[in-house]
Chain A
Amino acid sequence: QSALTQPASVSGSPGQSITISCTGTSSDIGTFDYVSWYQQHPDKAPKLILYDVSTRPSGVSSRFSGSKSGNAASLTISGLQAEDEADYYCRSFTSSNTLVFGGGTKLTVL
């Protein structure tokens, strides 16, 4: 049950696009399309922004998009805005019927 691998931090300027990677194994991301992404602002509960790799829940901006290739998934945020500054976590279902999070990525909007 090793954590998925995410970059510790990414940054971008308002209006730019950024991509956060999430690398797993053939026992999780590589086999299942149950990858979800969460946004967490300081001292707040996480918020679901993508599920099943690329599906946005109702109310989530279309600026958030997701994809998967092999054992890796990615989250892209286009048209960066100040309020996007937060921590982002990926999560995947595993072949052990458990779930595993990535270590988290801190997004800084310059």
Chain B
Amino acid sequence: EVQLVESGGGLVQPGGSLRLSCAASGFTFSSYWMTWVRQAPGKGLEWVANIKEDGSQKYYVDSVKGRFTVSRDNAKNSLYLQMNSLRAEDTAVYYCARGRYSSTYWGQGTLVTVSS
């Protein structure tokens, strides 16, 4: 059974940093692009970033470029999102999902709240 489990969310002050993790199981992690998607409270879905199977290609939505970094450790079947210089508008539930063009499997999400 495919499972994606996010962790690392929490309350952080504006300008602070947070690292999200996504533990994958039930499939060959190193064979898939992986994606981060977020959803602000009461708002729609926003694609944030993705990363190629071997980590050689990474893409970001404009609003997080230069602040967020997506990475992966295929040996640990894990996906990461390092978030720096956090802003109030980054407050959201962050989901990890499998796939590049479409996302068949999703985690349950982890809530990030940026507030003083």
Knowing A99-B50, A101-B46, the reply to whether A93 touches B109 (Cβ < 8 A) is no
Q: Indicate whether B68 reaches chain A with its CB closer than 8 angstroms.
A: no
Q: Indicate whether A98 reaches chain B with its CB closer than 8 angstroms.
A: yes
| B residues less than 8 Å from A52 (CB atoms) | 101-102
**Are the C-beta atoms of B47 and A91 separated by less than 8 Å?**
yes
**Are the C-beta atoms of B44 and A89 separated by less than 8 Å?**
yes
Interface string of B80-116 (1 = CB under 8 A from A): 0000000000000001000011111011110000000
Knowing A36-B101, A52-B101, the reply to whether A99 touches B106 (Cβ < 8 A) is no
Interface string of B39-81 (1 = CB under 8 A from A): 0000011110010000001011110000000000000000000
In the bound complex, how far is the Cα of B44 from the Cα of A40, in angstroms? 10
| B residues less than 8 Å from A36 (CB atoms) | 101-103
In the bound complex, how far is the Cα of B65 from the Cα of A1, in angstroms? 13
**Are the C-beta atoms of B108 and A104 separated by less than 8 Å?**
no
- Contacting residue for A51 out of B57, B60, B101, CB 8 A: B101
In the bound complex, how far is the Cα of B70 from the Cα of A98, in angstroms? 14
**Are the C-beta atoms of A99 and B47 separated by less than 8 Å?**
yes
Interface string of A44-55 (1 = CB under 8 A from B): 011110011000
**Are the C-beta atoms of A46 and B59 separated by less than 8 Å?**
no
**Are the C-beta atoms of A45 and B95 separated by less than 8 Å?**
yes
| B residues less than 8 Å from A101 (CB atoms) | 37, 44-47
9 contacts between A and B (CB under 8 A): A1-B62, A36-B101, A45-B108, A45-B109, A46-B95, A96-B59, A99-B35, A101-B47, A102-B44
B-side interface residues toward A, CB under 8 Å? 35, 37, 44-47, 50, 57, 59-62, 95, 100-104, 106-109
For the A-B complex with A46-B106, A89-B44, A104-B44 known, give 8 more contacts whose Cβ atoms are closer than 8 Å: A45-B109, A46-B37, A46-B103, A48-B102, A48-B103, A52-B101, A99-B50, A101-B46
A-side interface residues toward B, CB under 8 Å? 1, 3, 34, 36, 38, 40, 45-48, 51-52, 57, 87, 89, 91, 93, 96-104
The 9 closest A-B pairs by CB, nearest first: A51-B102, A36-B102, A104-B44, A34-B101, A45-B106, A99-B47, A101-B45, A97-B59, A103-B44
